[in-house]
Structure 1
């Protein structure tokens, strides 16, 4: 049976029970205050001793009328219950229709249920919010897939062109060709590994463990120190023990990406990178700042988009694959954290990662 039919039968059944109880109460009242037999004023009107059976006569009058009332209540309950159930379930019908549209791929449809805020209104609003987020996520994934396809096609097209040149010109220097093919393939491999890392972080398919962000900051700054010296950038590290929980490998990748970007997206010479860790308001905070060119809030808001390299601001030998901050954002969200990018008034950018903090003495 449908929910509407179940509600209709429930309404009708409840009305019948209530009517029967009311009639039973009336009948009990009559039995209490009406005598069983009564003497007639004029005994000649009744044969025998002049005694009239009052209750028996009352029952003969009350029973058919009670049955008629119950029949009316049954019909009224069925009709009224069907109408009321239909009106109450109308919002659920709209939600069901929206669900079917979403199942068929139409994510732009919204329920926008009118009326006062009740349980159905809250359900419809929550469903609309889910559709908004799902539509944005699907659009982002489509853009990412298109950009990734374009980025992967570029090294393949270059490799094909180099091989075509080598095939048509057998006398060409193969050493130069091999070097260029090696560089192109290295870039393609780096991009593929980065895409796999993004997929792993986005699916949260990693083991969580206790991590100290201060130790990760020290490790990645020591690793990237030669790169900083090459670009004439000074790295300053400070902070306290900053315990959190997550994947050590992914959080190291996050820290490395931030420091690497801060180095290569810096002033041409005498630039500075500041790396700070600490615990604030029950959150483990990693902050990376750098000097550099002036950035607007609009420019900063696009830096976490995939393949946004900002080519006008970076060195050509460190172009990367354009997924550095995208990886940082994905890893941060996978660890239930927040990522904040703020332009510095003097130039450069301040990037803050906030993750759930834990007590350094918590048992594993």
Structure 2
């Protein structure tokens, strides 16, 4: 935004320091003048004692000295104020330089202001923290864009290859070709819908409404029960009524993704999934656990990244598009919650979602 030129902050501070010093000096000299007037007669007195000056004599002697003192204070205030203001604003100059560097696209620069804590140090530390977060977010977006482009290019490439082969071989079975094209197209549609859902949750484009995590958990498990039975996985649900505020549709998608993920990443036979909810004074908690392979300790923190699929999936026919937990993470953050992934010692994963409890809701009862 275009602005009219104005005085610099350093000059403003300098003038402020000098003006304050002049006012203080004037008040001090005025106080001395008033104090002396109380003891000086209006006319000179002559007598046996020494000469006693009058008020006019005192004024003639005091006024030039007072003017000299004020002139000295003015010069001293301007010079001292200019140096002091420069010293005080030096950290702000470093912050401004760092801001300009960041504006060019370089987010790796840090201020790292030395010295004891004060307002400038708090501002510099906050700016460094903001740059660090922006650098991480930009890196995540770049990885996401690259991965999304790769994932979207794969089905399109397969489709193009199938069409080229079909055009060169007119006698090829069209039914098989159509089946393969349908499967590839379905995967591309699923990926596009997941990307749109991820973008919607990230922008918080919803109006908060009342939602009960326990009811959403029951709805998700009932919907996915045939899918679980097909893969020999049992699902158990229990817990308390868990009132929260948010988008019921997004929260249902979050629970469905967690339960679906727990079914997909499970044992080949006799797997199990446990879904439970609980209530705390300020939060409601959803826990989804499953059996499965033992996971490396450092793997859990990477599973919420887009297109990260962890270990090899057991049920490859429902491998998903690699955005399930990334969508869950975005939905949880959009609802000011926390997501924790913990590998189970016996194998499988424990996923915990904490969301703010909706205020004004009485203590719930336990669901069977």
TM-score, structure 1 length as denominator?
0.94
* Offset of residue 54 of structure 1: 2.0
Partner residue of 1:64?
64
Instruction: State the secondary structure of the residue aligned to 2:312.
Output: helix
Partner residue of 1:40?
46
Partner residue of 1:46?
none
Written as runs of structure 1 = structure 2, the 5 A alignment for 1:1-364 is 1-41=7-47, 54-310=54-310, 312-359=312-359, 361=361
1:311·1:319 contact (CA, 8 Å) conserved in 2?
A: no
Q: Return the alpha-carbon distance in structure 1 between the equivalents of residues 265 and 360 of structure 2.
A: 34
1:9·1:78 contact (CA, 8 Å) conserved in 2?
A: yes
Alignment CA distance shift 1:81-1:187 (3 Å):
same
Q: Return the alpha-carbon distance in structure 2 between the equivalents of residues 360 and 58 of structure 1.
A: 78
2:45·2:53 contact (CA, 8 Å) conserved in 1?
A: no
Which of structures 1 and 2 has the bigger CA Rg? 1
Alignment CA distance shift 1:86-1:360 (3 Å):
closer
Q: Return the alpha-carbon distance in structure 2 between the equivalents of residues 270 and 360 of structure 1.
A: 42
* Offset of residue 178 of structure 1: 1.1
2:26·2:70 contact (CA, 8 Å) conserved in 1?
A: yes
Partner residue of 2:366?
none
* Offset of residue 37 of structure 1: 2.1
RMSD of aligned residue pairs (Cα, Å): 1.6
Q: Return the alpha-carbon distance in structure 2 between the equivalents of residues 80 and 310 of structure 1.
A: 64
1:266·1:293 contact (CA, 8 Å) conserved in 2?
A: yes
Instruction: State the secondary structure of the residue aligned to 1:37.
Output: coil
Q: Deviations over 1:272-331 (max 9, x none)?
A: 110111112421111110111111221112111111123513321011101111111110
Instruction: Flag structure 1 segments of 5+ consecutive residues without an equivalent.
Output: 44-50
Instruction: State the secondary structure of the residue aligned to 2:235.
Output: strand
Q: How many residues align?
A: 355
* Offset of residue 193 of structure 1: 0.5
Alignment CA distance shift 1:52-1:285 (3 Å):
closer
Q: Return the alpha-carbon distance in structure 2 between the equivalents of residues 202 and 350 of structure 1.
A: 24
* Offset of residue 36 of structure 1: 2.1
1:211·1:248 contact (CA, 8 Å) conserved in 2?
A: yes
Partner residue of 1:47?
none
TM-score, structure 2 length as denominator?
0.93
Q: Deviations over 1:230-259 (max 9, x none)?
A: 110111111121111110110000000111
Instruction: State the secondary structure of the residue aligned to 1:312.
Output: coil
Instruction: State the secondary structure of the residue aligned to 2:165.
Output: helix
Alignment CA distance shift 1:341-1:9 (3 Å):
same
Q: Return the alpha-carbon distance in structure 2 between the equivalents of residues 359 and 12 of structure 1.
A: 55
Partner residue of 1:48?
none
* Offset of residue 141 of structure 1: 0.8
Instruction: State the secondary structure of the residue aligned to 1:214.
Output: helix
Q: Deviations over 1:319-364 (max 9, x none)?
A: 11011111111100000000111111111111011101125747xx
2:294·2:345 contact (CA, 8 Å) conserved in 1?
A: yes
